[in-house]
Chains A and B, each alone.
Chain A
């Protein structure tokens, strides 16, 4: 009984933290092309903030190669993701003004593939920079 009490709290905390890690995924709600684009742009912004924190920590720990890998991934990905955000805003304007939403949405989807891949590279760099 004493051992069960001793283990109950850490097991509960571990289960909750793992559940939280597994469920913090904005893409689970991204069903339409616009939602996927919103999730990509928003997720990249969050990843970028994480890259700043991790990069500074890596530099402080003398891991400059890993920190530079984060910087380089961002240099490649940021313009591509921002292009997706620009396409999203154009789509919103088309919707609001009754413009050609089909063409605007096609542009969003065209930008999405490149942005998704580029943003994924920053995520991989983050994972490799631990």
Chain B
């Protein structure tokens, strides 16, 4: 591993417990999810920017965007149900 990255990870691990609880949660969650596949931050950044456009630029959400959110929720739920089935069946 790159020594700078290794140093940064050790540093973050050492500093995180000293942060306010809300920041600790965000840092730990971001690090855990980065390790788990990095699904969290890009989506949150995109949604935050979209909310900014909605509020500040007046670019209203469309029906299709709302439907896409629902489709995403359905897809995530289906994958979680698949995970549950694998756990209950003892599959890897």
Contact = CB atoms under 8 A, between A and B. Distances in A.
Tell me whether chain A's interface is mostly helix, strand or loop, or mixed.
Answer: helix
Nearest to A56: B83
Given A26-B51, A42-B50, A48-B72, A53 B37 contact: yes
Given A13-B8, A30-B51, A130-B32, A48 B41 contact: no
Contacts of B38: 53
A118 B70 CA distance: 15
Interface of A: 9-10, 13-14, 17-18, 20-31, 35, 38-39, 41-60, 64, 67-68, 70-71, 74-75, 78, 81-82, 85, 88-89, 92, 126-127, 129-130
A10 B37 contact: no
- Most chain A CB within 10 A, of B28, B32, B79, B80, is at B80
A35 B29 contact: no
B8 A59 contact: no
Contacts of A46: 40, 43-44, 47
B1 to A, nearest CB: 14
A127 B69 contact: no
Contacts, number: 166
Interface residues of B, number: 53
15 contacts: A25-B48, A26-B44, A29-B52, A30-B55, A38-B66, A41-B70, A42-B50, A48-B73, A49-B76, A52-B80, A59-B87, A75-B77, A89-B66, A126-B33, A129-B32
